[in-house]
Structure 1
């Protein structure tokens, strides 16, 4: 895989020229900049997904305010942080919505907050912080909402709804993808059962293709979002012979539209699968860390940043060699990432471990300096 006049190629040529110059004048060659953790700030309100808004250079963090016993400790909302200092600027109060996932339309300046437990999507004006709408689905499909992706060109928002799970011999509601019309902020349609258990989403806006990860079977569906038909389904892990994919492995997706590569984030395997979108085949598997959860493709270098939830690290996978070039400790449980397309700065949300679901109510909450934080990585 090659990138014409890539940024990395220019750096290498620049480094070679510096080496020759250093040899000639007897000075050391300056080291190339490497990704590093610049700072972290405490959010203290059980942070989940983050999103970046280029219009005001701010990071938005969904905070649920839920304690370990699911009782409300503080009010849920969306914390707004300065992109450079990570200083809290304000907080959008979300009322009945407990936000877990976020999606921003930078063109309309609206943020879509996904309430996983209630099956609602709250819409908020980013300029005023006021609620615009609350969206729900009255159909029989699953309302266990998970991820939002935004197509700014068509002003459509896609929300995955996890379903298709059998419990006690009974099959639960079907998995789905909601299609929200951003002009009216209403539910336009529902794509029913594109896969058995819809988890992560990735959008190729240029080709109008939506990729849906099937958590139950570690497969991926390619959906034509104009017709809402599934065009093909392919494996998201490398299989040889009669090998079968691990269930509940592929949880999230990331797409590199420049190089026509889809990345499957595999939590059980602890890494990513590289899928050539032309053939639909896995071309390589890269180990990144225990509990690989989510990833983002860097808009400038095309490197892949992967949050490894159980490792407490973010790994950087080189776009050309597909080698891991960095493991950066960011917090206790890295959850999601966001990237500033202009500066290239990377942001990571880190959830705390807490005292655990089985702990008694009177057990103290552990002190976790690196939990419930947002971390800034400079590329």
Structure 2
């Protein structure tokens, strides 16, 4: 799909959002639940279609597998001891669950399981990596069978995980002690650990060309850059309470979703400066980029929207309703998938939303 052409906001160019509330049985796909149209010329327009399905209770994050053409999502319900948690394999076309895997039990007396929260896919080794926040660990599962392969301990309040397939590393953030930890994706052995005192490491992104991992420091309004080849990290300022992070296709720019400010920061990683700040919505929590078009998607938990941004111009292209509490967004070839924690469906089911670009003349 081609990039959406926009001009600065004016009377000639406006955003139109039409949200339609539809009710269906859990697991079925809804019709268009929201559209946003950006006008650039009278004879040409681009719009975003949002398809929604009730999926499961306790959705947290998602990751796309190119190898199997599935969307992996994590679910966890309640506070410790968490007894309800599953790793779901979702059909991206129907938005229905193809398979569900329950993490191993960690306490026979309470029935507590090794609940999964963050998720990343390693298509090269046919595995799925998860963060087990309550258990201070990360885990590895086989993609084809869902078999639990390993639990790797000592990642304090593990939040997010990303895979660098070029360097065979999986990076995890330890929010509990300000750490960033790398594991070998072949052997599951720990390869590197950097701990920053007073930091609250949250979101993660990795530049597969240089091997550098970038973690948001929610506590100190900065990005922590960790190279596998350097002992000391580099610190780069960004917006107010950054939590989600993504990189541009060339790895020179970082985008952070800033939870306290409700903004997207565009950060020049070489210069170490914020070049643009775009207001997206209250509680901006997650960000993902479409590397073909350059568009950036920001999930705003407080405002219940996902905002589409042109980071080069610093303009908002669309603002889409994606459930009362969108929690995470991931992008695959121009299509964005947003999971929410609305508990708005039957039996408090959460939903998944698929955002696709449509064009009409």
After TM superposition, the score normalised by the length of structure 2 is 0.81
Q: Distance in 2 between matches of 1:202 and 1:79?
A: 23
Q: Which residue of 2 aligns with 1:127?
A: 144
In 1, Cα distance between the equivalents of 2:188 and 2:180? 16
Give, in whole Å, the separation in 2 of the partners of 1:371 and 1:228: 45
Q: 1:71 to 1:235 in 2, by over 3 A?
A: same
Answer yes or no: is 1:176 the counterpart of 2:162.
Answer: no
Tell me which of 10, 27, 36 is aligned to 2:49: 36
On the 8 A contact 1:196/1:214 being kept in 2, the answer is yes
Name the CA distance, whole Å, in 2 between partners of 1:259 and 1:156.
17
- Matching residue of 1:169: none
Q: Which residue of 2 aligns with 1:167?
A: none
Q: Is the 8 A contact 2:80 2:134 kept in 1?
A: no
2:165 aligned with 1:152, yes or no? yes
Counterpart of 1:242?
Answer: none
Per-residue CA deviation, residues 143-165 of structure 1 (Å, 9 max, x unaligned), is: 111110100111100000013xx
Asked whether the equivalents of residues 88 and 97 of structure 2 are also in contact (C-alpha less than 8 Å), the reply is yes
In 1, Cα distance between equivalents of 2:201 and 2:178: 6
- Asked if residue 62 in structure 1 is aligned to residue 74 in structure 2, the reply is yes
Residue in structure 2 matched with residue 80 of structure 1 by the alignment = 89
Instruction: Give how far 1:136 is off.
Output: 0.7
Q: Is the 8 A contact 2:57 2:348 kept in 1?
A: no
The residue number in structure 1 matching 2:354 is 376
Q: Which residue, 315, 318, 327 being the options, matches 2:310?
A: 318
**1:259-280 CA distance string (max 9 Å, x none):** 7211121111001111112211
The answer to whether the 8 A contact 1:234-1:280 is kept is yes
Selected match of 1:188 from 184, 188, 191: 191
SS of 2:319's partner is strand
d(CA) in 2 for partners of 1:30 and 1:91? 46
Secondary structure of the residue aligned to 1:34 is: strand
Q: 1:279 maps to which residue?
A: 271
SS at match of 2:56: coil
Alignment of 1:329-340 (within 5 A): 329-340=321-332
**Equivalent residue, structure 2, for 1:106:** 123
* Partner deviation per Cα, 1:48-106 (whole Å, 9 max, x = no partner): 00111111211111011x24x65656x31111111111121111222232000001111
| Equivalence for 1:308 | 300
- In terms of fraction of residues, the more strand-rich structure is 2
Contact 1:195 1:213 in 2 (8 A): no
Secondary structure of residue in 2 paired with 1:76: strand
Q: Deviation of residue 255 (structure 1)?
A: 1.0
What is the distance in 1 between the residues matched to 2:213 and 2:251?
17
Q: Is the 8 A contact 2:90 2:97 kept in 1?
A: yes
Aligned length, in residue pairs: 315
What is the aligned counterpart of 1:235 among 234, 237, 241?
237
Larger Rg: 1
Per the alignment, residue 64 of structure 2 pairs with 52
Give 1:194 shift. 7.5
Give, in whole Å, the separation in 1 of the partners of 2:102 and 2:323: 26
| Counterpart residue number, 2:26 | none
Residue number in structure 2 paired with 1:213: 216
Is the CA contact 1:350–1:370 (under 8 Å) kept in the aligned structure 2? Answer: no
Stretches of structure 1 that go unaligned for 5 or more consecutive residues are: 1-5, 13-27, 164-173, 238-245, 354-365
Contact 1:301-1:319 at 8 Å conserved across structures? no
Partner Cα separation in structure 1 for residue 143 and residue 149 of structure 2? 10
Which ranges in structure 2 are unaligned for 5 or more consecutive residues? 7-40, 106-113
1:327 and 2:340 matched? no
* 1:149-197 deviation digits (Å, cap 9, x = unpaired): 100111100000013xxxxxxxxxx321111111111223322227722
- Which residue of structure 2 aligns with residue 260 of structure 1? 252
Q: CA-atom RMSD, angstroms?
A: 2.4
Kindly state the Cα deviation for residue 369 of structure 1 after the two structures are TM-superposed: 9.2
Kindly report which structure 2 residues correspond to 1:1-20, keeping only aligned pairs within 5 A, or say none.
7-8=2-3
